[in-house]
Amino acid sequence: MAQLGRGEVFVEKKDHYTLRQEEFDRTKFKDFIPAWENKKLEPLKFFKHIDKGSLADPAFPNLLPKDQDIKVSRITPKLGTEVEGIQLSSLNDEGKNELALLAAQRGLLIFRNQDFTTHGPQFAVDYGKYYGPLHIHPVSGAPLGFPEIHVVYRNKDVKFGNTTFDQRTNLVYWHSDITYELQPPGITFFSVLEGPDAGGDTIFTDSVEAYKRLSPEFQKLLDGLYVEHSSVEQANYYSESGGVQRRKPVKNIHPLVRVHPVTGEKILFVNPQFSRKIVGFKQQESDALLNFLYNHLNNSHDIQARAKWEPNTVVIWDNRRVLHSAIFDWDETEDDVTRFAVRVTPQAERPVADLKDLNKEDVNRLA
């Protein structure tokens, strides 16, 4: 039996393990309960990606039609938009294209009163596949039969990762998702099915604005640098904790400053959880520069936004241009509080420093 949490909270089956019956009994969202299948995955292969936002009408006639009572509110001047009055599940293809464009332009979108998850796992998978191949996480849990859905599940008994205050004064883990892959995500869908009545928010920081804040000379220093991203440490942690490692860990090199394929904006593409070293730098040199950039992203509260979770909320972000972190600020000693969330993660293009290299497989490949 795997012991990835506190106490005996997992049940071992023939070809997978999952949460004990008490966890099934406590939730209304049984179709999304995570399982860990003992199934090896093939390495991911390169594919050419056309961002749906590049096909969109910039007037947003299908996503934000003027003849409907739709409220659009900026969360901050440059990052984040909240939209009320539309159902994501009812969008046609043109509306989905415009959704990708708006996510690219604003970085973060919040939609309230959605029926997105009430349609079940298959609907979420089919919806996400419109934007690209869905990533199957190498170590995390997923609803049985739907490995493309990444599940976040946490309560006083079930915990994953370094998320206790035993050795830390805070549990803020800024990151963008799975940047160690050859082709990390673009548009990303996330919904909290159950959570505390207060707390458990998600915070975001804008890597486009972070780059713009740097001096021209410092930007010149960063342009043309490349960073190694690695999943080895994540895989080792889960293996040592008794978890299932379904795909061999990988390392890939990405530009430190990438260009967005739709907006053309430059993005400060570093990640405290998966960026390991600037190529060509000595480790101490790399650590000094990366730590400066991490602090710049982490501590610049004037380029950040916060998503507060309510029932039936779907948050969409562009994983290329924002970093995020869950906020673990609720009382975990309560028996009836579980933070239960699902993520659908379409992969996007290979990150490039120049759009002339878009969809070229051999650009910046790690030997």
Domains of the chain, start order = 10-357 (3.60.130.10)
Q: Where are the beta strands (DSSP E) in 65-200?
A: 71-74, 81-84, 108-111, 142-143, 149-154, 187-194
- Residue pair 191/116 in contact (Cβ under 8 Å)? The answer is yes
Query: Is the pLDDT score of 3 beyond 70?
Result: no
CB under 8 Å to 271, separation ≥6 — which residues? 175, 176, 179, 229, 323
Strands 81-84 and 71-74: antiparallel
pLDDT at 335: 67
Length of the chain: 367
Question: 257-287, pLDDT tens digit by residue?
Answer: 999 999 999 999 999 999 999 999 999 999 9
For residues 30-58, give the mean pLDDT: 95
- Residue pair 83/111 in contact (Cβ under 8 Å)? The answer is yes
For residues 99-107, give the mean pLDDT: 98
Give the rounded percent of residues in the chain with a pLDDT score beyond 90: 77
pLDDT at 367: 41
For residues 355-367, give the mean pLDDT: 78
Helix H or strand E encompassing 254: strand 251-255
Alpha-carbon distance of 320 to 259, in angstroms, equals 9
The two structure tokens encoding residue 286: 């790399």
Question: 174-217, pLDDT tens digit by residue?
Answer: 999 999 999 999 999 999 999 998 989 999 999 999 999 999 99
Query: Is the pLDDT score of 248 beyond 60?
Result: yes
238 pLDDT band, cuts 50/70/90, is confident
Q: Is the pTM value of this prediction over 0.95?
A: no
How many alpha carbons fall within 13 Å on the CB side of residue 290? 24
Question: 152-174, pLDDT tens digit by residue?
Answer: 998 877 776 555 677 778 878 99
Residue of 364 and 170 predicted with greater confidence: 170
Question: 10-32, pLDDT tens digit by residue?
Answer: 888 888 889 999 899 989 999 99
